[in-house]
Structure 1
Amino acid sequence: MNPLPSPFVRAALDAAGGLPDSGIAWLDAARRENLQAFAESGLPEGRNEAWKYTPLRALSQRAFALADRTAASGLAIDPALFALPGLDGARIVFVDGTFRADLSSLDADGIELAPLSAALSSQAEPLRFALANRYRRGATDAFVHLNAALATDGFVLRIAEGATVSRPVHVVHVSSGSQADTAWHVRLLVEVGKGAAADIVEHFVSAGDATQLGTVVSDVVLREGARLGVVLLQDASPATTLVRRGHVRIDAGAQATLHALELGGGLVRHELHADLDGDGARFDSRGVFALAGRQHVDTQLEIRHKARDTASDALWRGIADGRSRGVFRGAILVAEGADGADAALSNKNLLLSGMAEIDTKPELEIYADEVKAAHGATIGQLDERSLFYLRSRGIPLAEARSLLTLAFCRAALESLQNDTLREYLGERLVAHLPTGPAE
């Protein structure tokens, strides 16, 4: 006899039953198929290798209703909540997963930016391959199935071939926190045309403290010779559960760069899969998570070298204070025939409390010849000699700890080319770092 579904699964099935048909046969079929896959698998359990460090038992006992789209459309949101210095280009804002035209500015030279709901009504067929994509059936992809079944909005961003977009596109996700135990789901599609160049800043914030769940699934394609820089700032409230899955495909000679700063959220899972599909493709990633209290952040990075002379460089830093827990898995795969690949991965972590925990798991698989690859991970504490030196120069303990912690993280942010944004991220990190003595 099959066990009864958890409150989480039952609530998701009830929410799906209340969604109207889209009127697009293939899309409705894909939603039903993903909903069925989710119903069959449920949430991943502890014996699931991909989720072994992120238990979901407490989450499975919560029942999340879909956020009210009508209410989200009318909520008063102060733009100062998501204002970032140096960003005055195109902006698209979602409140509880609902597109807000009044807070957005979609026009910019060289780009086509539209909410997913509008794109489906005018050009559904070109989106079929992405939205009807078949994910693996099973609990590992439970949240992806859930997103595919319940996401009714998102955006489609296309960068024209050869275009250089001078100002970053600002993507904002606001969790309103206006109603407890509500969920929202967003689907993102990005295509950077051949030889084009652009930057995206994806930003997560909260306007209230009620418990919410958000899922975001994104597919990004870089055509031949394209360049894309992505900055991710996650600063949601501690009551927010956030699950993100991103897939980046990089064609020949194209380059993608990610800088990520994870500060907020109560339970956060970020999965990023990068496929270097074309000769000479490159993917660089830099990230920091800084945790306190009972925060739990799980980063899953998977980079697959599938063509000749590809390159990747991943540098991630983690900080855990209080009773928080950080998880990092960095996996590099060099496929057969991907000769000349150059791959490096470094993950270093600091424990600022005796009750904090960080689990790190670097992985390296090589099936090609003439490959240069290296990976490593460390977990440690602040150097007592450095602390003593700073204190001997009259610097208080709390300030000395913050200085050393910031220096530890700086390597992950210093390569960001946008000076104004880099300085702001550093300020946000400093404000988030613990100021008291270690426990």
Structure 2
Amino acid sequence: MSEPALLPLVASLVDAPLPVSGIAWLDAMRRDNREVFVAGGLPLARVEAWKYTALRGLARRPFVDGDVAALTRAVDPSALALPGVDGARLVFVNGAFRADLSALDALPAGLTLQPLSQALHADPDPLRFVLSRRHYEADEAFTQINAAHARDGAVLRVADGVKIDAPLHLVFLGAPAEGDLAWHLRNVIELGEGAALTLVEHHLASGEQAHLSTVVGDIELREGAHLHHTVLQQAASGASLIRRTGLRLHARAHATLHLAELGGALVRHDLRAELIGDGAQLETRGVFMPHGRQHVDTQLAIRHQALNTASSSTWRGVASDRARGVFRGAIVVAPGADGSDASLSNKNLLLSGSAEIDTKPELEIYADEVKAAHGATVGQLDERSLFYLRSRGIPLAEARALLTAAFCRTVLDDLPNAVLREHLSSLLIAQLPG
């Protein structure tokens, strides 16, 4: 009996040649991860982490690996700017580093910011621990793809005790091409002991396309480090964007994340945080606003592993038209993580009868003297509030927009960059129906 034909997506990835670096451990890792992916394939609905995100449509599409013309794609530099973000900038177009669009001159002392391809060429050994990992779990198919095929990405390091004042800007741009592309980026970020950094990560498009992109990042915060990380996702309306971000917080490290998921056709973000040092603190604030036929899936997993750690997560979802949102928020307080304080809230609004949001909060506690709370709701706008606004002469459509905007802006209230905060607020309002 002949072997069954591979799905077009899998076949196009299998047929694509792997990048060859000449670095033995890196090339072996790429081969191993692709072998695992080919053996396991894409996750099906029976894989719990992918229960609400079907991949049948994506699996039926073939993609061309990489963009041979990425370095010459026309891009308007002004489209890359964000209000309130004026530090160094690293830009990738369809997965390729663009030196002409980046701003890397006169980096502050103690800051290293460069494309992964250059870092590997100069000295690959410091990256071996992070990049040589094999991924075997059934829900890690896209991480396996990324590990096998990623040619570039961002390497960002802040030395011990160094505090970077101006926000750094990472830009991942999808540009129209002659066909549907698959491109992959691998980011490595490390803050040394007592270091501080503000980072803005921006996913956007210069025109309509339906590429598949995967972005995998590892963020390590050493003892006493502070990171403020803002993520704005505005992928093209036909694009598929799969991301996975891992954070590790050592003793007394503090990370604050603000995330806005606004674009894309199929969007998935796995955000996994480990609080491994005593007194580590994590705050996440996120909003996802699918419309049309968008599908946006956020998987948040926080693990408390040390004494007196704290995490606080506030997420909002708004779905309209025939869109679907998915949110899973899982908190684990591991044995020995006494004194942990964890809270998670996910509230969601449905603005049409055809929209859907699936939310699943999870809480596992294996330690003593713990404070923990979690909750999730899915509903519609409060009729009493609508009536109050309409009784003041505000039209129904405007009243609905005002209430929805206020509902979403909760996650931005503590964003310290006022200029960027107002810009993000305006984007949220523009995303609302009508």
Confirm or deny: 8 A CA contact 2:213 2:241 kept in the other structure. Answer: yes
Q: Which moved more, 1:227-236 or 1:395-404?
A: 395-404
Q: Distance in 1 between matches of 2:127 and 2:254?
A: 24
Q: Which moved more, 1:144-153 or 1:394-403?
A: 394-403
SS in 2 for 1:407: helix
Partner of 2:268: 269
TM-score by length of 2: 0.98
Partner of 1:395: 394
Deviation at 1:20, TM superposition (A): 4.6
Partner of 1:48: 47
Q: Distance in 2 between matches of 1:367 and 1:106?
A: 46
Deviation at 1:178, TM superposition (A): 2.1
Letter in 2 for 1:290: M
Q: Distance in 2 between matches of 1:373 and 1:138?
A: 28
Deviation at 1:66, TM superposition (A): 1.2
Q: Distance in 2 between matches of 1:365 and 1:3?
A: 41
Q: Which moved more, 1:137-146 or 1:167-176?
A: 137-146
Letter in 1 for 2:170: V
Deviation at 1:138, TM superposition (A): 3.9
Letter in 2 for 1:9: V
Letter in 2 for 1:114: Q
Deviation at 1:391, TM superposition (A): 1.4
TM-score by length of 1: 0.97
Alignment of 1:257 onto 2:256:
yes
Letter in 1 for 2:13: A
Confirm or deny: 8 A CA contact 2:252 2:277 kept in the other structure. Answer: yes
Confirm or deny: 8 A CA contact 2:347 2:376 kept in the other structure. Answer: yes
Q: C-alpha offsets along residues 166-194 of structure 1, whole Å, 9 cap, x if unaligned?
A: 01110001000223321110000000010
Deviation at 1:207, TM superposition (A): 1.1
Q: Which moved more, 1:88-97 or 1:176-185?
A: 176-185
Partner of 1:13: 14
Q: C-alpha offsets along residues 26-54 of structure 1, whole Å, 9 cap, x if unaligned?
A: 10000000010110111111111110100
Alignment of 1:35 onto 2:26:
no
Partner of 2:92: 94
Deviation at 1:93, TM superposition (A): 0.3
Letter in 2 for 1:76: A
Confirm or deny: 8 A CA contact 2:19 2:151 kept in the other structure. Answer: no
Deviation at 1:134, TM superposition (A): 2.1
Aligned residue among 39, 59, 75 for 2:73: 75
Matched residue pairs, number?
Answer: 431
Letter in 2 for 1:212: H
Deviation at 1:80, TM superposition (A): 2.0
Q: Which moved more, 1:304-313 or 1:387-396?
A: 387-396
Letter in 2 for 1:74: T
Which runs of 5 or more residues in structure 2 are unaligned?
none
Alignment of 1:103 onto 2:104:
no
Letter in 1 for 2:125: E
Q: Distance in 1 between matches of 2:146 and 2:104?
A: 24
Q: Distance in 2 between matches of 1:410 and 1:207?
A: 26
Q: Distance in 2 between matches of 1:61 and 1:7?
A: 5
Q: Which moved more, 1:72-81 or 1:142-151?
A: 72-81
Q: Distance in 2 between matches of 1:199 and 1:28?
A: 33
Q: Which moved more, 1:158-167 or 1:103-112?
A: 103-112
SS in 2 for 1:425: helix
Deviation at 1:150, TM superposition (A): 0.3
Q: Distance in 2 between matches of 1:5 and 1:20?
A: 22
Partner of 2:125: 125
Partner of 1:152: 151
Q: Distance in 2 between matches of 1:36 and 1:303?
A: 29
Confirm or deny: 8 A CA contact 2:285 2:313 kept in the other structure. Answer: yes
Q: Distance in 1 between matches of 2:303 and 2:134?
A: 19
Partner of 2:207: 208
Partner of 1:328: 327
Q: Distance in 2 between matches of 1:180 and 1:81?
A: 23
Alignment of 1:113 onto 2:119:
no
Q: C-alpha offsets along residues 9-38 of structure 1, whole Å, 9 cap, x if unaligned?
A: 0000111x2x45211011000000001011
Deviation at 1:3, TM superposition (A): 3.7
Letter in 2 for 1:333: V
Partner of 2:5: 4
Confirm or deny: 8 A CA contact 2:32 2:134 kept in the other structure. Answer: no
Partner of 2:187: 188
Alignment of 1:167 onto 2:166:
yes
Deviation at 1:392, TM superposition (A): 1.6
Deviation at 1:294, TM superposition (A): 0.2
Confirm or deny: 8 A CA contact 1:41 1:138 kept in the other structure. Answer: no
Give 1:425-436 correspondences, 5 Å limit. 425-435=424-434
Q: C-alpha offsets along residues 309-363 of structure 1, whole Å, 9 cap, x if unaligned?
A: 0000000000000000000000000000000000000000000000000000000
Confirm or deny: 8 A CA contact 2:19 2:149 kept in the other structure. Answer: no
Deviation at 1:427, TM superposition (A): 0.6
Q: Distance in 2 between matches of 1:20 and 1:149?
A: 8
Alignment of 1:288 onto 2:271:
no
Letter in 2 for 1:371: V
Aligned residue among 65, 81, 84 for 2:82: 84
Deviation at 1:418, TM superposition (A): 0.7
Confirm or deny: 8 A CA contact 2:343 2:374 kept in the other structure. Answer: yes
Q: Which moved more, 1:276-285 or 1:174-183?
A: 174-183
Letter in 1 for 2:122: S
Q: Distance in 2 between matches of 1:348 and 1:177?
A: 35
SS in 2 for 1:317: strand
SS in 1 for 2:411: coil
Give 1:397-412 correspondences, 5 Å limit. 397-412=396-411
Q: C-alpha offsets along residues 217-252 of structure 1, whole Å, 9 cap, x if unaligned?
A: 000000000000100000111111000000000000
SS in 2 for 1:29: helix
Deviation at 1:253, TM superposition (A): 0.4
Confirm or deny: 8 A CA contact 1:242 1:269 kept in the other structure. Answer: yes
SS in 2 for 1:336: coil
Q: C-alpha offsets along residues 68-111 of structure 1, whole Å, 9 cap, x if unaligned?
A: 23x11011100122210111111000000000000001242131
Q: Distance in 1 between matches of 2:104 and 2:309?
A: 34
Confirm or deny: 8 A CA contact 1:38 1:138 kept in the other structure. Answer: no
Which runs of 5 or more residues in structure 1 are unaligned?
none
Confirm or deny: 8 A CA contact 2:64 2:179 kept in the other structure. Answer: no
Deviation at 1:301, TM superposition (A): 0.2
Q: Distance in 1 between matches of 2:5 and 2:65?
A: 21
Partner of 2:338: 339
Confirm or deny: 8 A CA contact 1:159 1:196 kept in the other structure. Answer: yes
Deviation at 1:133, TM superposition (A): 1.2
